[in-house]
Amino acid sequence: MPIKTPAKKSLGAALKRRARKPAKELAAGKRSLPKALQAARAVKGKAKALDAVGIRVIFQRLHDANPEPKGELDYVNQYTLLVAVVLSAQTTDTGVNKATGPLFAVADTPQKMLALGEDKVRDYIKSIGLYRTKAKNVIALSEQLLANSGGEIPRSREELEKLPGVGRKTANVVLNIAFGEETFAVDTHLFRLANRLRIAPGKTPLEVELGLEKCVPKEFRRHAHHWLILHGRYICKAVKPECEKCVLAELCTSGDKRI
């Protein structure tokens, strides 16, 4: 089944629309907080993970704010999704989209990318960080895909990670978006929120990822990493989180909380 380019109205926009309502208004009409969350608020700042009830409430709120979240990278098929995610390392999605729009218009398959060549690929993506290395990786992974799988994108993390420029996080994004796998791509935003909200505290991205695998309720696993990444990007920011707009404000026990 072909993969569609994400709609222009991103989850970020949806979150911002939802965020216009103050936290206390969002809470109106809801049941009282579970006792576990009330207790957690009383010991604000301590590094104890939430229990299953608290975690479920958090993901239910994020689901209610946007039931079908979408990633913000533009792509036209599984191959261009892979390329876009590889290019997104240490670069904003917006910056990647500006470069890949023209690139994917002329090269949306491994064959076309190889025909374009490394020098021209580099010219298309020179506005993004590490563009020289990324151009080499795009050409190398295209060659490897053609040689090993007839140009098809592998459906396993192990095989994806064998491709140049593809690490565990990139593989998890591709598996989640392209194939609907329940994976957790731990970027800087997700890592911060998993610790700040005490969902899956961890000292490394892998520790957080494994923690999420254990604690996220089944019905929320498909979209969990999108909710957390984009909530962190637009609302629960590293510096000056916009707590007054947050749908999770009354649940938060973080020492970074501003209300």
**pLDDT reported for residue 209:** 97
To which H or E segment does residue 198 belong? none
pLDDT given at position 259: 80
Instruction: Return the structure tokens found at 211.
Output: 């923690």
Q: Which domains does the chain have, with CATH numbers?
A: 11-68+198-251 (1.10.1670), 78-179 (1.10.340.30)
**In the chain, what percentage of residues exceed pLDDT 70?**
82
Rounded to an integer, the average pLDDT of 123-134 is: 96
- Active-site residue numbers? 169, 187
Measured CA to CA, the distance from residue 13 to residue 11 in angstroms comes to: 5
pLDDT at 16: 47
Given a cut of 90, is residue 40 above it in pLDDT?
no
> Is 0.85 surpassed by the pTM of this model?
no
CA 203 from chain centre, in angstroms, equals 19
Which residue in 11, 149, 154 sits closest to 78, CA to CA? Answer: 154
Q: Judge whether residue 180 has pLDDT over 60.
A: yes
CB 229 within 8 A of CB 185: yes
Token pair, residue 10, equals: 């991103």
- DSSP assignments along 50-99, one per residue: P-HHHHHHHHHHHHHH-SS---S---SSHHHHHHHHHHTTTS-HHHHHHH
